[in-house]
Amino acid sequence: MNLTDTKPRRGRPPKVARDNRDTRTELIRSGLEQLTENGFAASGIDPILKKVGVPKGSFYHYFANKEAFGLAVIDSYAQFFAKRLDACLLDESHPPLARLGNYVEGAKKGMARFEFKRGCLVGNLGQEVDLLPESFRQILIDIFLSWEQRVANCLKSAQVNGDLATTADCDLLAECFWVGWEGAVSRARLVQSNQPLDNYFNNFIAGLPK
């Protein structure tokens, strides 16, 4: 069964309590793994349900349809990623540009931990946007904009510190950072190495106007 199948079904709640487990959260987590590794179009519901131990009928007790499920997965990822970015970019114990470097180091560890099978969910979905429900498009755009704003604010702090030229367009630099970073993540998955991430970030920092 494919995630793009939106044929409505009658949902039913589980027959018994499942040891107080948050089934909806577990479904989202399982979906996140599938979508991050395989994308939306190629991911099926069956392996997601099998991992959590939920029958197909009960799935629709938690989500109106598969599009709603995909949106819930995206929202969960966006919230997690925003907290991860803030933990690095708002850490005033480090200079602003070092904070950006700390984010990169964390991302490298994450990719290595999952053996380069997982990339950025939002970036992956952006590459298959024409295969997604139209409702996904603006949400993905807005998530990228929120990430860009966080990096732009960090770069503006670098300007205050004197580590970045006051004439630099921080909003444009932040957009360029994410456009290039997503490409570097894709290449890292391809070659199964963090070297593309290092190459990209080192060149990004070297190219900043001082």
Q: How far apart are CA 188 and CA 120, in angstroms?
A: 11
Can you give the pLDDT at residue 96?
98
Percent of the chain with pLDDT over 90: 67
Confidence of residue 44 (pLDDT cuts 50, 70, 90): confident
Nearest residue to 128 (alpha-carbon basis) of 41, 59, 34: 41
Asked whether the predicted pLDDT for residue 150 surpasses 50, the reply is yes
With respect to residue 142, please indicate whether it lies within any of the assigned structural domains: yes
Return the sign of the alpha-carbon dihedral for residues 187, 73, 136, 173. negative
Q: Which DSSP symbol is given to 1?
A: -
Which pair of tokens denotes residue 6?
A: 């939106």
Confidence of residue 47 (pLDDT cuts 50, 70, 90): confident
Q: Specify the pLDDT at position 20.
A: 42
pLDDT recorded at residue 3? 42
Is residue 34, in this structure, part of any structural domain at all?
no
Q: Which residue has the higher pLDDT, 56 or 182?
A: 182
In sequence order, what are the beta bridge partners of 44? 2
Q: What pLDDT shows up at residue 2?
A: 41
- Count of structural domains within the chain: 1
pLDDT at 197: 98
Domain at 130, CATH number: 1.10.357.10
2 pairs with which residues across the strands?
A: 44
User: pLDDT tens for residues 168-187?
Assistant: 999 999 999 999 999 999 99
Q: Token digits for 63?
A: 């989500």
Task: Count CB-CB contacts under 10 A for residue 91.
Answer: 13
Please enumerate in sequence order all residues whose Cβ is within 8 A of that of 191, keeping only pairs 6 or more positions apart, or say none.
none
Domain containing 128: what range?
A: 73-206
